[in-house]
């Protein structure tokens, strides 16, 4: 039953009608004609009728009282983050894994809730664990009300706690096995039925620096990707499957070279995760002649990037004549894949290379180089002192008698590499598939960008190795939840901006109010994409009003 209008000529009438199902069709039956709309409004009878009907609707009465200012707000809290990510936390079985591993440990607080709080805080308000304790006061998060800062630190320490000696099989040479390893392995085992096999794994590393004292053994000075050689750091490695799901993370002392970590990581994947065959996809920074020899000795499949400018053989491969095969054509549509061409080259019938070409990138590389060289030529006209402080000039400079000169040979050599990268592989995959698989490695780079910027893992203020491992592993779990939410949205065919998802979830609030001695809970308006997020995750939206 509802109200509708009916217009006859210049007059509009207000009707109460009801829908009825007649002979397979919906027909409207007029229950009551209230009269002309203009007369009802002018006389005030419509307002009186609505007010009278409102006495029989508690919801309408409460909303009206709240709108008039007759209510007292006793509490307000943000509810979106917990409702969505608590469901994903359970769907991924993270809570079950943690509770199983905690059996027999007599903590006087919920370690599982402390870890969930830290992970949720990492997603919505990146910062230190100290900030999480105060951040939770503005949110309705199940089971975290009694948690204090020292509980969060103890939970982090438990995650990074070193396992007994008899459980150290499979540890890497750089780091012992800890509780976080057991969590990763248990999560993988629960999801194993979703994998036919780990045909492909992507591996990359980055560094995270410490403020203050740093780690007890993890903090070392080494090559800093953050350009902070003055601070101690640790190396973080991440392994993803072919679908972009994080499998495991590793921490090493900051002076560990990337090329030394690839083989131990794959050994761990095969032994601890029970993987038979695996194909490694890694960036050019991960490969050295020694590493490649170890990989081939173990007869592992690989797709590896090659350092073009430092490898004599790679330079020869790039210069080798041959026809490129088109994988993706050029397109003006921004949603289309980047243009890609590939060329297969064999060296001595034993080493297989794939040269990849992106014509758009080649154009950009050429324009960037021309801009730098033009600026360099102009600077040389003002004397050598004008070159001081510009690192971009170094590549194209050579000694030319009394002063520096432009290295024309270097410019020609760089031009041969525009838009190109070289891969080496021992797989039987077609060249186009090799290139496409390698491009997926950029998922790992996106993960590290998320870990460093969105999740604000760095800098790390913890001093003990155990809490440092726990701190970084919470970022790993946060990335796992993010990936799960993105998968839920993808199954619905929705591609939403991550910043919009976080903002709209964070803006969903509830308020407790008291009206005439009774308590009620109001849910705020849903805005933006929050409705789609709830629908994709299968979470029911709380009612707009309920008694409490």
The predicted-structure confidence for 473-482, as pLDDT tens digits, reads as follows 988 899 899 9
CB neighbour burial string for 207-238, b if at least 16 within 10 angstroms, e if fewer: bbbbeeebbeebbbbbeebeebeebbbbbbbb
Q: How far apart are CA 496 and CA 480, in angstroms?
A: 17
What value, to the nearest 5°, has the Cα angle with vertex 253 and ends 249 and 257? 85
**Does 124 map to a domain?**
no
Mean pLDDT lowest for which of 97-111, 146-160, 376-390?
A: 376-390
Q: Are 235 and 219 in contact (CB under 8 A)?
A: no
Residue 149, SS3 per DSSP: helix
Higher per-residue confidence, 191 vs 449: 191
pLDDT band at residue 394 under the 50/70/90 scheme: confident
Q: Determine the average pLDDT of the residues in 218-234.
A: 69
- How would residue 454 be classed by pLDDT, with cut points 50, 70 and 90? very low
Query: Residue 41: pLDDT above 60?
Result: yes
Whether pLDDT at 71 is above 60 = no
Residue 538: pLDDT band (50, 70, 90) is very high
Is there a contact between 220 and 232 (Cβ–Cβ < 8 Å)?
A: yes
Which residue range forms the structural domain that includes residue 396?
361-415
Q: Is the pLDDT of residue 95 over 90?
A: yes
297 is a domain residue: no
The confidence score (pLDDT) of residue 535 equals 95
Q: Does residue 140 form part of some domain?
A: no
Average pLDDT, the chain: 82
Domain edge (last residue) among 415, 441, 457: 415
Q: Give the residue from 35, 56, 77 where a domain finishes.
A: 56
Residue 48 located in a structural domain = yes
pLDDT confidence bin for 390, thresholds 50/70/90: low
Compute the average pLDDT of residues 205-209. Answer: 73
- The per-residue pLDDT for 195 is 47
Number of structural domains found in the chain: 2
Q: Which comes out higher in pLDDT, residue 245 or 215?
A: 245
- Taking CB atoms within 8 Å and a gap of at least 24, the contacts of 31-37 are 31/1, 34/3, 36/11, 36/12, 37/5, 37/12, 37/13
Q: Could you list the beta-strand ranges (E) of 390-503.
A: 397-400, 403-406, 420-425
* Residue pair 282/441 in contact by the 8 Å Cβ criterion: yes
Q: What is the pTM of this model?
A: 0.74
Q: What percent of the chain has pLDDT over 70?
A: 80
- Asked, for residue 332, whether it belongs to a domain, the answer is no
Q: Is the pLDDT of residue 145 over 70?
A: yes
pLDDT for position 109: 94
Is 176 inside a domain boundary?
no
> Is residue 375 situated within a structural domain?
yes
| pLDDT above 80: residue 170 | no
140-145: which pairs have CB atoms within 8 A and are 24 or more residues apart?
A: 140/77, 140/78, 140/79, 140/82, 140/510, 141/81, 141/82, 141/116, 141/117, 142/82, 142/86, 142/113, 143/110, 143/113, 144/113, 144/114, 144/116, 144/117
Predicted confidence at residue 196, as pLDDT, reads 46
The residue-averaged pLDDT of 122-132 equals: 79
Q: Is the pLDDT of residue 172 over 70?
A: yes
Domain limit, last residue, from 17, 40, 56: 56
Check residues 397 and 67 and name the one with the higher pLDDT. Answer: 397
Give the Cα separation of 265 and 282 in Å (integer): 12
Q: Give the residue carrying structure tokens 């838009």.
A: 419
The residue among 545 and 287 whose pLDDT is bigger is: 545
Output the six-digit token pair for 206. Answer: 């980055």
> What confidence score (pLDDT) does residue 455 get?
45
356 belongs to a structural domain: no
Out of 128-132, 329-333, 459-463, 498-502, give the one with best mean pLDDT. Answer: 498-502
């Amino acid at each position: 039953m509802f109200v509708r209008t009916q217009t006859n000529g210049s007059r509009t009438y207000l009707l109460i009608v009801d829908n009825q199902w007649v002979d397979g069709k919906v027909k409207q039956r007029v229950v009551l004609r209230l009269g002309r709309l203009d007369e009802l409004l002018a006389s005030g009878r419509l307002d009186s009728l609505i007010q009278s009907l409102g006495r029989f609707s508690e919801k309408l009465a409460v909303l009206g009282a709240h709108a008039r200012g007759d209510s007292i707000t006793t509490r307000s809290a943000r509810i979106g983050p917990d409702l969505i990510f608590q469901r994903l936390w359970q769907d991924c079985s993270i809570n079950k894994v943690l509770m199983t591993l905690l059996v027999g440990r007599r903590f006087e607080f919920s370690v599982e809730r402390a870890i969930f709080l830290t992970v949720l805080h990492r997603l919505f308000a990146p910062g230190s664990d100290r900030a999480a304790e105060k951040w939770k006061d503005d949110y309705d998060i199940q089971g975290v009300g009694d948690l204090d800062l020292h509980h969060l630190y103890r939970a982090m320490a438990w995650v990074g706690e070193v396992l007994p000696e008899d459980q150290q099989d499979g540890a890497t040479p750089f780091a012992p096995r800890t509780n976080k390893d057991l969590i990763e392995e248990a999560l993988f085992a629960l999801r194993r039925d979703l994998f036919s096999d780990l045909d492909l794994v992507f591996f990359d590393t980055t560094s995270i620096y410490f403020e203050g004292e740093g780690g007890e053994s993890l903090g070392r000075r080494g090559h800093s990707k953050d350009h902070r050689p003055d601070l101690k750091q640790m190396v973080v490695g991440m392994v993803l499957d072919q679908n972009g799901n994080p499998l495991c993370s590793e921490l090493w002392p900051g002076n560990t070279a990337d090329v030394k970590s690839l083989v131990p990581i794959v050994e761990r994947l095969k032994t601890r995760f029970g993987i038979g065959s695996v194909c490694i996809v890694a960036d050019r920074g991960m490969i050295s002649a020694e590493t490649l020899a170890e990989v081939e000795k173990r007869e592992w499949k690989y797709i590896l990037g090659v350092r073009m400018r430092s490898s004599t053989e790679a330079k020869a491969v790039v210069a080798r004549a041959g026809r490129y095969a088109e994988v993706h054509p050029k397109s003006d549509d921004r949603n289309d894949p980047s243009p890609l061409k590939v060329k297969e080259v064999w060296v001595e019938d034993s080493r297989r290379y794939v040269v990849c070409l992106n014509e758009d990138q080649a154009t950009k590389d050429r324009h960037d180089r021309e801009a730098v060289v033009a600026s360099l030529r102009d600077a040389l006209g003002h004397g050598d002192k004008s070159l001081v402080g510009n690192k971009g000039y170094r590549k194209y400079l050579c000694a030319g008698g009394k002063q520096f000169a432009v290295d024309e040979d270097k410019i020609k050599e760089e031009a041969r590499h525009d838009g190109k990268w070289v891969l080496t592989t021992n797989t039987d995959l077609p060249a186009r598939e090799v290139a496409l698989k390698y491009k997926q490695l950029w998922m790992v780079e996106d993960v590290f960008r998320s870990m460093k910027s969105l999740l604000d893992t760095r800098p790390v203020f913890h001093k003990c190795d155990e809490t440092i491992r726990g701190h970084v592993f919470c970022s790993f779990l946060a990335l796992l939840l993010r990936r799960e939410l993105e998968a839920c949205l993808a199954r619905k065919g929705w591609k939403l901006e991550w910043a919009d998802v976080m903002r709209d979830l964070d803006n969903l609030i509830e308020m407790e109010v008291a009206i005439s001695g009774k308590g009620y809970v109001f849910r705020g308006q849903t805005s933006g994409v929050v409705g789609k997020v709830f629908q994709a995750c299968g979470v029911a939206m709380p009612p707009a009003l309920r008694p409490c």
